[in-house]
Amino acid sequence: MCIYVRRLDSFEKKSTRNCLLISLVFEKMEYLVLLQNGLVVLLTIAFSWKLITYMWGSVKMEKEPMKVLVTGAAGQIGYAIAPMIARGIMLGTDQPVILHLLDIAPAAEALNGVKMELLDAAFPLLKEVHATTDVTEACKDVNIAIMLGGFPRKEGMERKDMMSKNVPIYKEQASALEEHAASDCKVLVVANPANTNALILKEFAPSIPEKNITCLTRLDHNRALSQIAERLKVNVTDVKNVIIWGNHSSTQYPDVNHATVSTPNGERPVKELDTDDHCLRH
């Protein structure tokens, strides 16, 4: 009888232990199932996110093309700037463009050569290229106008001497932009005398907001920066707020009244560090 009871106790202990083991196995199996389901959910989310990102990227590439006018496009600057625009350097790598290239009739062959080179390059962002000598056709629906064209400066001429030559050119082009460009067209005048040409354009294209018309005197600005930096023995990046007034001509005035220089002790006015007014004015 005693032996029987011992065996029964031993059997019950083994049964209890086996039940616990079975219970643990089931718990682990349930945990593995939950883990597997969790991994499936995570992989699904990751795949969905990748798919959404890819689709969003495709949608962004489908922006409406911007129409960009470049006048004087057969010249050296036009030849250099057109492929830069086509590559997305100006408007971004997700902005398609349509180039409108304009030049005078004697430069028509060279202008067509620029067009052919742009097409041969097969820029992904470049949707169309229109090369023409007709100012009306060139200005049609353009969103941006880069005005490189103008009467070339000849030996012995001041830039102000070119004014009488450029007035009819800019009057015609401004009138065409007024009539045919997009209402929010932005205009950058490069041809010298840039300030006066921009003023002429503003007068003959009154519907284009004044804030949308600007001119480029960056070279003169950079010259002033470099000369100030050289005199003060600082980096050009440390010089700020230099202003250039007037045309790119002998009447131009570099203004340093608000210019500052970054120093270890903070910003300091240029006129405080360089008291030679004659040098600063000239």
Which residues are known catalytic residues? 248
Nearest to 206 by CA among 222, 229, 185: 185
Torsion of CA 144, 147, 148, 150, to 10 degrees: 160
CA distance 16 to 252: 101
- The first and second tokens of residue 133, run together, are 């000598």
How far is it, in rounded angstroms, from Cα 27 to Cα 157?
94
Run of H or E residues at 253: strand 253-255
Q: Which of 63, 66, 92, 71 is closest to 145 using CA atoms?
A: 71
The CA distance from 23 to 185, in Å, is 76
Per-position DSSP letters for 117-167, written without gaps between them: HHHHHT-TTEEEEEEES-HHHHHTT-SEEEE---PPP-TT--GGGGHHHHH
